[in-house]
């Protein structure tokens, strides 16, 4: 493929054709469905076609140049980097679990929506443009050079690996879940199928390949997320634009919640039969006025925001722009593309709830005959998959809200079926979930492998290694970490969402203050940074261990999703106190900090 | 600290003051407004304001805030002649 003026100049055309091609593919699938092709075959084609496209982009973007491999040649335009960041950012958790979380937990869960967007204000104003000017390849590269010494660099690598590895197992788990469902193979195999797709995108071309596949994956995931919601909003007659229509729907749902006695006790025997699945028990919009509820909202928002601003796989995306100014603008674009999906999640949750609860709708099965609901095709399918369980606890032959047990994840995956949309939409949604999980997994695996190859191997172990050797090491590490991630994911240790929140807390406990103070406080020195990284990470991890496995009661409602509330203050205090107690950084470091504070001039670090 | 002795605010002083403004708005959107989520929701029939802010209002405001910040910071850089190119 040879384009006049090069690839970068023709991005609009390339991705325009790609988007039209993808929509064409969806239409062909819809026609095939009408022609009687089975749902299973359509599922295979969706997964096969999209993975093949990503792999093709990955192979076309292969490179042996380290600037291309680590930072995509620093030539990615701000808007496209925004799109790639949005795909990098929105994981399987955002795509599959978020709307379900809002469905099951209502208002308090929207703290995630606030935290995962507001963090970008910090990325834009505190960190990203300065790291771009610094010119590093990896986040530990900044820590290692700003504070000096291998120990500081090594600590940053540890935090990065802990946060990113926790996160990546959740993503590989997500790809495994979708692949297993669509291809009808065991989950353990699905994990390895997902991993091979992920590695096909990143092995040969590093950051360059990941950037261009992430843009492609963003397009697939956003189309897949928006179409069903627009469809439902129009079908239910609430209006053209679901985002505006949802507020009327919220009021309607609140009335229906009273009709169905939301909050009534669940029969213990029925709950026992349903196992871990839950009946809806929280109102859609209970913004409680208790101090504890407000505090929990506040702490979750804070942990997610500061985690956003310290997760290396996100920060490293801004190393790929052509200038400092472009890096800043790119943060704004990232937020725009992220909001396109995030603002849709509450609407999706609301319309799904309305579809199930409204007795005037054919889809509204709550409050109607238990036997009829039990015989629905989607109910049977998701029940046999273990995501849904209907138990007629009081034996009255009707399906009460307290007798409908589900796993929140099916809100996104099963909504097309619940709302009675054609199967092609289910295939599209699955392809979107796969794209979301794959793109995040790619960014995370690359962040880990690059830190280990660049910071641990090249900067600490073998500084004389030539660029060819470094890239071979980087690829071997990528393969090894991917395999380790898939192995851990196959053990199913944590749920998708728990693992994601932990990654944020590991990152903010260990890296937030060393990064921010490295730029904004000249007096911050090596001893302080090391104390901040080790102390923060150790305090946060010890607290997590104590409340999760040690049997300790959480302090002040700071549960395992928010353990950064312990790690962060420890990190800040240690960093300030130890920095003050030890010698100020030398003149050279001061000059380096000065030079990253202005966009003009050469980058500090030339690899 | 020598830059502060000259009287006129330096590039870094202006950058810092922009940061503080940005962070003040950020604190309002991220934390303060949700503290009053219950009050914003109002009664059963009224528009669910708290829900709107947590699910849509602040996200859009964050995006506008970032673009506003970028424009202001670029103006400061241009004024002091420290932008790229």
A198 touches chain B (CB under 8 A): no
Q: Is residue B63 part of a domain?
A: yes
Q: What is the ipTM of this complex?
A: 0.91
Q: Is residue A2 part of a domain?
A: no
Q: Is residue A604 part of a domain?
A: no
> For chain A, what percent of residues have pLDDT higher than 70?
98
On the question of pLDDT at A606 being above 60, the answer is: no
Q: Is residue B47 part of a domain?
A: yes
Q: Is residue A149 part of a domain?
A: yes
- Interface A-B: count of C-beta contacts within 8 A: 143
Model confidence at A151, pLDDT cuts 50, 70, 90, reads: very high
Q: Is residue A4 part of a domain?
A: no
Q: Which chain A residue has its CA at the smallest distance from B47's CA? A: A247
The mean predicted confidence, pLDDT, of chain A is 87
Domain of A577, CATH number, reads 1.20.1730.10
Q: Is residue B2 part of a domain?
A: no
DSSP assignment of A417-482: HHTT--HHHHHHHHHHHHHHHHHHHHHHHHHHHHIIIIIIIIIII-TT--HHHHHHHHHHHHHHHH
Contact between chains at B30 and A301 (C-beta distance less than 8 A) = yes
On the question of pLDDT at A182 being above 80, the answer is: no
Q: Is residue B41 part of a domain?
A: yes
Contact between chains at B12 and A339 (C-beta distance less than 8 A) = no
On the question of pLDDT at A169 being above 90, the answer is: no
Residue A439: domain span: 12-596
Pairwise CA distance, residues A574 & A563, whole Å:
17
* pLDDT, position B1: 41
Contact list, A121 vs chain B (CB under 8 Å): 22-23, 26, 30, 62, 65-66, 69
Q: Is residue A197 part of a domain?
A: yes
Residue keyed to tokens 């295979």: A44
Q: Is residue B5 part of a domain?
A: no
- Asked if residues A95 and A432 have their Cβ atoms less than 8 Å apart, the reply is yes
Q: Is residue A248 part of a domain?
A: yes
Domain total of chain A: 1
State pLDDT tens for residues A428-459.
Answer: 988 898 899 889 988 998 899 888 888 888 88
Domain total of chain B: 1
Nearest to B63 among A114, A332, A346 (CB): A332
Q: Is residue B69 part of a domain?
A: yes
Contact between chains at B62 and A117 (C-beta distance less than 8 A) = yes
Q: Is residue A5 part of a domain?
A: no
Residue B53: domain span: 10-78
Q: Is residue B33 part of a domain?
A: yes
A247 touches chain B (CB under 8 A): yes
Model confidence at A270, pLDDT cuts 50, 70, 90, reads: confident
Contact between chains at A325 and B77 (C-beta distance less than 8 A) = yes
- Asked if residues A191 and A171 have their Cβ atoms less than 8 Å apart, the reply is no
For the packed helices B11-27 and A111-122, what is the interaxial angle rounded to 10 degrees?
Answer: 180
Q: Is residue B45 part of a domain?
A: yes
Compute the average pLDDT of residues A252-258: 82
């Amino acid at each position: 493929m040879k384009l006049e003026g090069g690839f970068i100049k023709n991005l609009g055309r390339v991705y325009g054709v790609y988007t039209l091609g993808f929509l064409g593919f969806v239409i062909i699938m819809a026609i095939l469905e009408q022609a009687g092709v089975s749902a299973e075959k359509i599922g295979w084609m969706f997964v096969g076609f999209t993975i093949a496209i990503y792999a093709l982009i990955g192979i076309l973007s292969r490179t042996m140049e380290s600037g291309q491999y680590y930072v995509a040649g620093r030539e990615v335009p701000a808007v496209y980097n925004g799109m790639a960041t949005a795909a990098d950012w929105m994981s399987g958790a955002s795509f599959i679990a978020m709307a379900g979380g809002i469905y099951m937990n209502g208002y308090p869960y929207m703290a995630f929506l606030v935290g995962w967007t507001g963090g970008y204000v910090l990325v834009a104003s505190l960190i990203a443009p300065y790291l771009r000017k610094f010119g590093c390849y990896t986040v530990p590269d900044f820590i290692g050079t700003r504070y000096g010494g291998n120990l500081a660099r090594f600590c940053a690598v540890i935090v990065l690996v802990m946060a990113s590895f926790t996160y990546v197992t959740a993503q590989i788990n997500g790809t495994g879940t979708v692949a297993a469902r669509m291809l009808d193979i065991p989950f353990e195999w699905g994990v390895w199928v997902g991993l091979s797709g992920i590695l096909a995108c990143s092995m040969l071309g590093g950051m360059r390949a990941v950037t261009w596949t992430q843009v492609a994956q963003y397009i697939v995931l956003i189309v897949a997320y928006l179409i069903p919601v627009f469809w439902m909003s129009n079908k239910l007659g609430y209006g053209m634009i679901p985002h505006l229509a949802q507020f009327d729907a919220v009021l309607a749902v609140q009335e229906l919640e009273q009709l169905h006695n939301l909050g009534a006790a669940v029969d213990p025997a029925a709950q026992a039969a349903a196992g871990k699945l839950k009946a809806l028990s929280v109102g859609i919009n209970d913004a409680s006025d208790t101090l504890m509820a407000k505090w929990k909202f506040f702490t979750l928002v804070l942990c997610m925001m500061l985690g956003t601003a310290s997760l290396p796989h996100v920060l490293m995306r801004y190393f790929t722009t052509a200038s400092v100014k472009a890096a800043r603008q790119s943060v704004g674009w990232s937020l725009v593309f992220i909001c396109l999906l995030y603002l849709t999640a509450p609407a999706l949750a609301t319309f799904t709830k309305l579809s199930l609860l409204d007795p005037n709708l054919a889809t509204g099965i709550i409050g109607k005959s238990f036997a009829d609901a039990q015989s629905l095709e989607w109910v049977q399918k998701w029940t046999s998959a273990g995501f849904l369980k209907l138990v007629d606890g009081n034996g009255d032959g009707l399906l009460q809200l307290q007798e409908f047990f589900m796993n929140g994840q099916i809100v996104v995956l099963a909504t097309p079926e619940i709302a009675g949309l054609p199967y092609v939409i289910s295939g599209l949604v699955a392809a979107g979930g796969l794209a979301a999980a794959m793109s995040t997994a790619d960014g995370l695996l690359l962040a880990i492998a690059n830190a280990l190859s660049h910071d641990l191997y090249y900067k600490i172990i073998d500084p004389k290694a030539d660029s060819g050797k470094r890239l071979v090491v980087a690829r071997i590490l990528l393969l090894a970490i991917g395999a380790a991630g898939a192995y851990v994911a196959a053990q199913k240790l944590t749920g998708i969402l728990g693992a994601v929140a932990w990654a944020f807390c590991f990152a903010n406990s260990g890296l937030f203050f060393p990064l921010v103070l490295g730029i904004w406080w000249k007096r911050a020195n090596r001893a302080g940074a090391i104390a901040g990284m080790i102390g923060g990470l150790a305090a946060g991890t010890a607290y997590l261990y104590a409340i999760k496995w040690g049997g300790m009661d959480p302090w002040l409602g700071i549960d395992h999703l928010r353990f950064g509330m312990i790690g962060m203050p420890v990190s800040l205090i240690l960093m300030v106190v130890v920095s003050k107690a030890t010698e100020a950084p030398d003149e050279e470091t001061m000059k380096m900090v000065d030079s990253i504070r202005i966009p003009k001039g050469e980058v500090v670090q030339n690899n | 600290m020598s830059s502060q002795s000259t009287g006129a605010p330096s590039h870094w002083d202006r950058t810092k003051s922009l940061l503080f403004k940005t962070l003040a708005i950020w604190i309002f959107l991220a934390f303060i407004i949700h503290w009053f989520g219950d009050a914003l929701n109002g009664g059963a029939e009224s528009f669910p304001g708290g829900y709107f802010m947590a699910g849509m209002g602040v996200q859009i405001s964050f995006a506008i805030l970032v673009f506003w910040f970028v424009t202001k910071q670029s103006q400061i850089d241009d004024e002091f002649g420290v932008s790229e190119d």
